Amino acid sequence: MAYEPLVSPTQFLPRVTPPRHVQDVDWDTSNKFLNGPFAPWAEESEAFDLPVIGRIPDDLAGALFRIANNPRFAPREPDRYHWWEGDGGVAATYIRDGKASFRMKWVLTDSMKIEVEAGEALYSGFVNGSGLSPRQLPPGAPRSKNVANTNVGIFADHLLVYFEGGLPHSLDPGTLDTIGTYDFNGGIDVLCTAHYKLDPRTGNMLFFAAVGNNLTWYEADARDARILDSVTFDMGCPAMVHDYIVSEHHAIFLISPTQFRLDRIMQGRPGVLWDEDAVPGGSRFAVLDRRTKRVTWYDTGTMLAPTHFFNAFETDQRIVVDLHVIARLGNPVDDGDSTHDSHNWFPPAMAWRFELDTVTKRVTHRMLSGVAGEFPKINDAFLGRELQYGYFATTRALTPETMTDGLARFDFGTGQTIIVEGAEDLTNPSEPIFVARRGSVEENDGYLLSLWWNRQTGLSEVLVHETASFTPAPLARIQLPVRVPFAFHGSWADAEQLDAALAAHRTAVATRR
C-alpha cells in the first residue's frame, strides 16, 4: 500500500521569484537547468557557525560531502546545456558539537584549467550535441572534458570525486583544494564508475569501468586502494551503465537500450541514444559471480532502463534486485540529433523488484512503490542483505522549475510509502544520505541528511530528519550561505573517518616537502 498526501502543502504557496544574489549569473536563457535550484553560483565560498533552525543531534559528527553541478562559464550553447554537463564542485557541510561550517569549491580538472586560462567555455556538451564548430583547443589540452561532477566520498583516506568519462580526482578533505587525478595506484587507466559500493564486511571498494562494449569490475583494498581483483566481460553493445548493485556473492548489472556513443560525441552529436535494436530481446541482467568470475545472463523480456539501485540479496534459488527503472532514457535512435525535452528524454522512474531464478534463469518482476522517485538509498551497512527500509527523493510533479519534490521512506515488508515535504518554501531535495546513529545496530536507527532549495531565499539548506519516526518536521535546518546547484550524489564521512583522512593528507604533504 502507498500513502501520499492528496494535495501538496506547497501547492498553496504563492509563486515567488527568488532574490538575486551578487553570486548569481545572468546568461539570458530559459533553460531549466540554468535556473531555479539548478542556477549556477559564481564563486567559491566558505562560512562558519552556520545558523540552525532546530537542533543538530549531539551524536551527529562528521562531514556531508555533496557534488555541485556548477558551470563556471556560460555554456557555448545555453539552450542546449544539460545538467549532466555542469562543472563539478564539492559542497562540504562539516558538523561537530552541534555546530556546522561550510565550504564549496570547484574541482580544478585539467580541462577546467584550460577554460580558466581562456576565460570562457571551450568544450561543448555531450547530451544534446552542438550546433557550433568545435573551438580550437590549446596544444596539450584534453580532447574531451572531465567535469568531475557525479559523486564524492572518502576511501582509503582520500577524498575522491568521480566522473564516468575520466579518472577520479583527489581533493584535500579539509580545504577542498584539488590535488590531481587518482588511478588507484596505477590500477585503472582511463575511467571508472561514479557508483562504487563498499563491502560491509571488508570495507573494500567494489566498482567498475564501462568502455565501449567492455565492462570491467574491480575490487580495491580499503587500506591502500590497491586493486585486488578485476574481471572483464563483453556487454554485447556500448550500453551506458551508470549504476549497479552487489549481493553477498554477485555483482549485478542491467544492460539496457540506453547506449553511450562516444563516436557521436566526437562528431558534436548527441551521445546518449535509446536504441532497442541493441538489446533486441529486451534489457538483460548480467550477473558476475565474484567467486568463480563467471557471468550469467538473465533476460527480462522488457525494454526499460535502470536509473539507480536500492539493494540486492540472495536466497537459496533467487537473486532479488530492487531498483528504480524508467521506460526510456536517451534520444530516440530514429530522432537522435534533435534536442528533446528533459521529461520526454528522462521520464519518471518507479521502484521495481526483479527476482532472478538461478536454476531456470527466468526473471519475474513487480512494481514496489506507486510513487515516482529517484536517488534510492539504504543503510549501507546492510548492503547485500535483505532489509526493510529504503529512501528516495520523489518526482511526482514534473514541474518545469524543479526536479524533485519530497522525500520518501519505503517499507519493503509492508509496501508502505511515507512522504515528507519541505517546510515553508523548501523544495527540490537532493539524494538523501542515511547516517547511522552512533552505536546503533538496528537498520533504521539514524538520520537522513538531504540538501533542499529555498524558493524564498534562493539558497540551500541541509535538513536532518530522524529515520525511525520519519515525521515531516526535521530535527534541524542548517542554512547555507550559498545555493548549491542541484546535482547527483554525495556521501557522509563520520568524524573518525574524516579525521583519519585529514591526518593522512597532512602527512602526505609533509613527506613531499
pLDDT in tens, 35-45: 999 999 999 99
User: What are the Cα distances from residue 268, in Å, to 112, 129, 240?
Assistant: 19, 5, 18
Q: What is the DSSP annotation of 435-500?
A: EEPTT--STT-EEEEEEEEETTTS-EEEEEEETTT--SS-SEEEE-SS-----S-EEEEEHHHHHH
Q: 96 phi and psi, to 5 degrees?
A: -160, 135
Q: How far apart (Å, rounded) are the C-alpha atoms in residues 238 and 212?
A: 5
Name the percent of the chain lying above pLDDT 90.
Answer: 83
For position 512, what pLDDT does the model report? 77
- The two beta strands, 305-314 and 99-106, are unpaired
The per-residue pLDDT for range 227-265, each reduced to its tens digit, is 999 999 999 999 999 999 999 999 999 999 999 998 888
What is the pTM assigned to this prediction?
A: 0.94
Indicate the DSSP class of residue 93: E
In sequence order, which residues have a C-beta less than 8 Å from that of residue 501 and are 6 or more positions away? 154, 157, 158, 159, 173, 493
Average pLDDT in the chain: 93
Beta bridge partners of 411: 389
For position 342, what pLDDT does the model report? 62
Instruction: Identify which of 402, 343, 364 has the alpha carbon closest to the alpha carbon of residue 32.
Output: 402
User: What are the Cα distances from residue 115, in Å, to 277, 367, 428, 488?
Assistant: 39, 45, 30, 23
Indicate the DSSP class of residue 114: H
- For the chain, which domains are there? 24-512 (2.130.10.10)
What grid cell was written down for 3?
A: 500513502
Intra-chain end-to-end CA distance of the chain, in Å: 61
Per-residue pLDDT band for 28 (boundaries 50, 70, 90) equals: confident
Q: How far apart (Å, rounded) are the C-alpha atoms in residues 273 and 261?
A: 7
Report the 3 state secondary structure along 238-283.
CECCCCCEECCCEEEEEECCEEECHHHHHCCCCCEEECHHHCCCCC
The per-residue pLDDT for range 284-342, each reduced to its tens digit, is 999 999 999 999 999 999 999 999 999 999 999 999 999 999 999 998 998 878 776 66
Q: 413 phi and psi, to 5 degrees?
A: -80, -45
For position 215, what pLDDT does the model report? 98
Contact call for residues 348 and 381 (beta carbons, < 8 A): no
Q: How far apart (Å, rounded) are the C-alpha atoms in residues 80 and 218?
A: 35
